[in-house]
Amino acid sequence: MNRKTSTADTIYLLLAFAIMGILYYSSSMGYEEQNVQPLLHQWLENEPLRGLLERIEFTYAGSVVSVESSGYIAFIEFFIRKGAHFFSFFALGLFWFLGLRNRVNNIYLSILLSLLLTAGYASFDELRQNFHPNRTALMQDVILDTVGGLTGILMAFFSTGGPKKRKRKIRFNR
């Protein structure tokens, strides 16, 4: 059953398109234009938490990520960049779901459609980066983006009531 759409539903869809536009613009920039390392050098001059962070090491997209392999500032920047991936697609998935939930007949179809739109845009975004100099396309980023989008969708789903149970009509035979 279609619920009545509101102005808020349209605003959510516009926000989803705005985020897509921002992501498109951001993906068009080279690494040099997005480099936050000089700023991090200023802010983290004394390398706080270095002792704790030096214990962390893992592999992402076939490369070792650690303070030892990347350096302290690049290690911090890695988490900023991947956090930006996650949270921008979190917002994209959230706004797709909020904009579509009253426009689609089935709430689970709204979830699926929102997830497909988010994952599809994540794939498109990474593919586009493959053709841009000084950018790399990573399947791991598509997965990270999709997980961010799914998290946003599920948070919106459960915060707006989740799976509502149908009210059963009680009929009395006379």
Burial 15-54 (b: 16+ CB within 10 A, else e): bbeebbeebeeebeeeeeeeeeeeebeeeeeeeeeeeebe
pLDDT per position as a tens digit, 131-172: 887 788 899 999 999 999 999 999 999 998 877 654 555 566
Tens digit of pLDDT for each residue in 83-126? 999 999 999 999 999 999 999 989 999 999 999 999 999 999 99
Q: What is the pLDDT of residue 1?
A: 46
pLDDT at 42 over 60: yes
Residue 72's CB: how many other CB atoms inside 10 A? 18
What's 83's DSSP letter? H
> CA–CA separation, 148 vs 119, rounded Å?
10
Higher-pLDDT residue of 31 and 23 is: 23
**DSSP per-residue codes, 155-169:** HHHHHTTSSPPPPPP
Contact (Cβ atoms closer than 8 angstroms) between residue 100 and residue 13: yes
Query: Closest by alpha carbon to 50, among 74, 36, 69, 67?
Result: 67
Residues 6 or more apart whose Cβ sits within 8 Å of residue 70: 78
CB 102 within 8 A of CB 9: yes
Where is average pLDDT lowest: 6-20, 27-41, 86-100?
27-41
